[in-house]
Amino acid sequence: MIKFILILFISYLLGSIPWGYLIGKFTKKIDIRDSGSGNIGFANALRVLGFFPGIMVLLGDMGKGALSVGIGSLAATWIGINHQVVGGMAGLLSIIGHNWPIFLKFKGGKGVSTSAGVFIFLTPFPFLSSFFVMIGVVFFTRYFSLGSMLSSLTLPLFIWLWGGNKEWFYLVLSGIAAGLILFRHQSNIKRLLKGKERKLGEKVKIE
């Protein structure tokens, strides 16, 4: 049990690495939280920092999710627990770390890119199916937040369609991840309902 908790703690710390904040400081010498939506994730990084820094944030956030799952899966034999459970729980803790990072006083992002890194590792084909949902929604509406939320909600469905009952653990895990994404997007939902949500590609003034 101690080994399992240690892996989860390491995964949380990996998830807590605030790539948006670090890349903002390194490339523009700014705190990304002071501009745009104030979020440290990909969408706000794209608006505030530009294309290439935004892609760096995306890859960093996805990478820490995938790395957490990889570490958990590899450590499963050492821990003595099913690799599916260890990898999945490690991925979940990295998402929690991104949303509530210890390095930024527990004020983090919304977990979309980190969740993508987790599930592209755990359930690649269902993830790609839900990713195409996001691409379609963003293409027609230009609302990255709406695409992210709808994509997360369809992921459990695609996991069930691809794996059925044998993938019940990933089904539950994806449901939790979707719930976290919706919870972190409360402000976006309010802005969408008011017609005030920023669209993908909109530039913001750096403050």
Task: Please give the pLDDT value at position 200.
Answer: 75
Task: Please give the pLDDT value at position 122.
Answer: 94
Task: Please give the pLDDT value at position 79.
Answer: 79
User: Read out DSSP for 40-55?
Assistant: -SHHHHHHHH-HHHHH
Taken as a whole, the chain contains a residue count of 207
Give phi and psi for 38, each to the nearest 5: 85, 0
> Rounded distance, CA 61 to CA 98, Å?
8
Task: Please give the pLDDT value at position 120.
Answer: 96
Task: Please give the pLDDT value at position 130.
Answer: 97
Task: Please give the pLDDT value at position 7.
Answer: 93
Helix 144-163 vs helix 186-194: crossing angle, to nearest 10: 120
Task: Please give the pLDDT value at position 40.
Answer: 93
Task: Please give the pLDDT value at position 37.
Answer: 82
Task: Please give the pLDDT value at position 26.
Answer: 93
Half-sphere exposure at residue 165, Cβ-oriented, CA atoms within 13 angstroms: 0
CB 16 within 8 A of CB 97: yes
Rg (CA), the chain: 17
Task: Please give the pLDDT value at position 188.
Answer: 92
Tens-of-pLDDT digits for all 207 residues of the chain? 788 899 999 999 999 999 999 999 999 999 999 988 889 999 999 989 999 999 999 999 999 999 999 999 998 878 778 888 899 999 999 999 999 999 999 999 999 999 999 999 999 999 999 999 999 999 999 999 999 999 999 999 999 999 877 789 999 999 999 999 999 999 999 999 998 888 876 665 565
Task: Please give the pLDDT value at position 167.
Answer: 85
pTM reported for the whole predicted model: 0.93
